[in-house]
Amino acid sequence: MSTSTPTTRPKAKAKAGKKPSKMASKLPHAQKVYQRWFRDMYLMRKFEERCGQLYIQQKFGGFCHLYIGQEAILAGISEAIRPTDRMVTAYRDHAHPLVLGTDPKFVMAELYGRKTGTSKGKGGSMHMFDKERNLFGGHGIVGGQIGLGAGIAFADKYRKEDHVTLCFMGDGAARQGILHETFNMAMTWKLPVIFIIENNKYAMGTSVERTSNVTDLETLGASYRMPSFTVDGMSPEAVHDAIKEAAERGRKGEGPTLLDIQTYRYKGHSMSDPQKYRTKEELGEFQGKDPIEYVRNVLITQGWNSAEELKAVEKEVKAQVEESIEFAENSPYPDASELYEDVYMTEDYPFVKD
């Protein structure tokens, strides 16, 4: 049942001696797609690099789990779904709103615990939400969002709306019992949900190999006959294809898909991680497949952008990130009187229907 999405990358090289042109491209996506991927991944990377620095400078507190290294997953997803589709994820969640188009200043303000943040400053790093863009969080309980993902998909099916829910989890979360109950119900009811394991090989300091006799996470779908695939998470193209297919399956009423997306986090689990559980060589192996550098190379070798043009994009993105910091630092903290608001249902609570 399970087949794997090809992990090889399309050749990005222009023919020697020939001036590269759009027509000569054999790449699976158009110029504007690669350009979007470059900008989006660079934004995720720079935003997070600055988060790491600001955290060390104690500009904000709480937890801080960086997504650096995993960017090709969200880039690949961005062009494969509709704006009305839903996302729910765990605590490594700063990049998800960025790729959905949430202004980075609101994400930064949330990290700073300011009133202008995505969760009014009351959620922090692990609780990014964006109602307008259908981002349902940002959750700190490992695996808790697996059931929520199926629940969101159930609501859509019940209302006969053709949205698909992308339910992200880590390789560690995939070992939680809730996964099995959820998979069973999601397959029985053919819910339009894509279960995405962002398999970065470690749950804090515990490797996939240490958590089970079965290390091939794709097989977790087998008992439920859920279509399940392993995907190269360093390749935005491979992710795009896998998500597109899974979303079509969901929209056609054929139910859920499990994707074990192979990725790597370049930084520690959170900001306090001595990383003794892995080698520099292993890290180097994945950094050598860096998706930002891959897409940069595509754009340049296709003649779609010069190195200077891409530097200009980087400059724009860096300025945007700096603006987000300025915005966060100049925003007020929530008032103490707001402490008990937004805990239970409020009058304008958007998710309750008669």
Ligand X SMILES: Cc1ncc(C[n+]2csc(CCOP(=O)(O)OP(=O)(O)O)c2C)c(N)n1
Applying CB under 5 A, the residues found at the interface with Mg ion are 170-171, 200, 203
Torsion angle in degrees (nearest 10) through CA of 229, 234, 236, 240: 10
- The DSSP code for 14 is P
Spatial neighbors of 82 by CB under 8 A, at least 6 apart, are 163, 164
**Residue 204 C-beta-side C-alpha neighbours within 13 Å:** 3
User: CA-to-CA distance for 141 and 120, rounded, in angstroms?
Assistant: 20
Residue type, 87: M
Any contact of residue 170 with ligand X (CB under 6 A)? yes
Helix, coil or strand: residue 96: helix
Between 80 and 261, CB nearer to ligand X: 261
User: CA-to-CA distance for 238 and 235, rounded, in angstroms?
Assistant: 5
Q: Token digits for 118?
A: 């995505």
Any contact of residue 172 with ligand X (CB under 6 A)? yes
| Minimum CB distance to Mg ion, residue 213 (Å) | 18
| Minimum CB distance to Mg ion, residue 209 (Å) | 13
Select the residue interacting with ligand X from 40, 71, 93, 171 (CB under 6 A). 171
Between 202 and 229, CB nearer to ligand X: 202
User: CA-to-CA distance for 85 and 159, rounded, in angstroms?
Assistant: 14
Q: What is the β-pairing status of strands 165-170 and 257-262? A: unpaired
**Contact between residue 96 and residue 71 where contact means Cβ atoms under 8 Å apart:** no
User: CA-to-CA distance for 166 and 85, rounded, in angstroms?
Assistant: 8
Any contact of residue 204 with ligand X (CB under 6 A)? yes
Any contact of residue 30 with ligand X (CB under 6 A)? no
| Minimum CB distance to ligand X, residue 71 (Å) | 14
Between 56 and 204, CB nearer to ligand X: 204
Any contact of residue 203 with ligand X (CB under 6 A)? yes
User: CB under 5 to 8 A by kind: which of Mg ion, ligand X, none does 204 bind?
Assistant: ligand X
| Minimum CB distance to ligand X, residue 316 (Å) | 29
Spatial neighbors of 185 by CB under 8 A, at least 6 apart, are 150, 191
Between 92 and 127, CB nearer to ligand X: 92
Q: Which stretch binds ligand X (CB under 6 A): 168-176, 210-218, 224-232, 245-253?
A: 168-176
| Minimum CB distance to Mg ion, residue 205 (Å) | 10
Q: Counting every residue, how long is the chain?
A: 354
Alpha-carbon distance values, 216 to 119, 213, 222, 242, 263 (Å): 36, 9, 11, 17, 14
Between 22 and 210, CB nearer to ligand X: 210
Between 70 and 302, CB nearer to ligand X: 70
User: Nearest-5° angle of CA 65, CA 37, CA 142?
Assistant: 25
Q: Token digits for 149?
A: 């993902």
Q: Which stretch binds ligand X (CB under 6 A): 96-104, 149-157, 199-207, 251-259?
A: 199-207
Between 35 and 228, CB nearer to ligand X: 228
Select the residue interacting with ligand X from 141, 214, 307, 339 (CB under 6 A). 141
Residue facing Mg ion at closest CB distance: 170
User: CB under 5 to 8 A by kind: which of Mg ion, ligand X, none does 92 bind?
Assistant: ligand X
Q: Which of residues 266-285 bind ligand X (CB under 6 A)?
A: 269
Positions that interact with ligand X (CB under 6 A): 92, 140-142, 170-173, 200, 202-204, 269
